[in-house]
């Protein structure tokens, strides 16, 4: 975790959400909390280290590197989802960072 751990991590499964609206709200709230965390981190806090316990031996990295890993890992899965959507006949949205910047960094469309 890159910020103060105030609650126990609760790993969710798809079946935890009765409706897609509940899943969407959960995702939106997670984005709000992440934005608040990122805005609260000073350059000094970004360089503090955290321990990744599932590596053997445990890995110590900076918060900055942990957040970079989270972003890169998420983008990897976005690519997987886009590929799967194309495989079943869909048209995934553009996920390129540079296109988002070109488009004026629009906020997420949740509707």
% of the chain exceeding 90 in pLDDT: 62
**Which pLDDT value is given to residue 56?**
95
Low-confidence ranges of the chain (pLDDT < 50): 1-3
- Establish if 111 belongs to a structural domain: no
- Establish if 6 belongs to a structural domain: no
**Which pLDDT value is given to residue 9?**
75
- Establish if 52 belongs to a structural domain: yes
Listed in sequence order, the residues at least 6 apart from 24 whose beta carbon sits closer than 8 Å to its beta carbon are 110
- Establish if 38 belongs to a structural domain: yes
**Which pLDDT value is given to residue 1?**
46
**Which pLDDT value is given to residue 111?**
74
Structural domain count of the chain: 1
Structural domain range at position 33: 18-102
- Establish if 2 belongs to a structural domain: no
- Establish if 27 belongs to a structural domain: yes
> Is residue 64 a contact partner of residue 47, using CB atoms and an 8 Å limit?
yes
**Which pLDDT value is given to residue 18?**
94
- Establish if 109 belongs to a structural domain: no
């Amino acid at each position: 975790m890159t910020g103060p751990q105030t609650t126990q991590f609760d790993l969710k499964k798809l079946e935890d959400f009765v409706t897609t609206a509940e899943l969407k709200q959960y995702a939106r709230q997670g984005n709000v909390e992440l934005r608040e965390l990122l805005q609260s981190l000073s350059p000094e806090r970004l360089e503090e280290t955290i321990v990744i316990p599932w590596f053997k031996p445990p890995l110590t990295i900076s918060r900055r590197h942990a957040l970079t890993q989270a972003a890169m890992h998420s983008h990897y899965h976005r690519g997987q989802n886009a590929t799967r959507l194309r495989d079943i006949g869909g048209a995934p949205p553009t996920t390129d960072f540079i296109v988002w910047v070109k488009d004026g960094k629009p906020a997420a469309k949740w509707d």
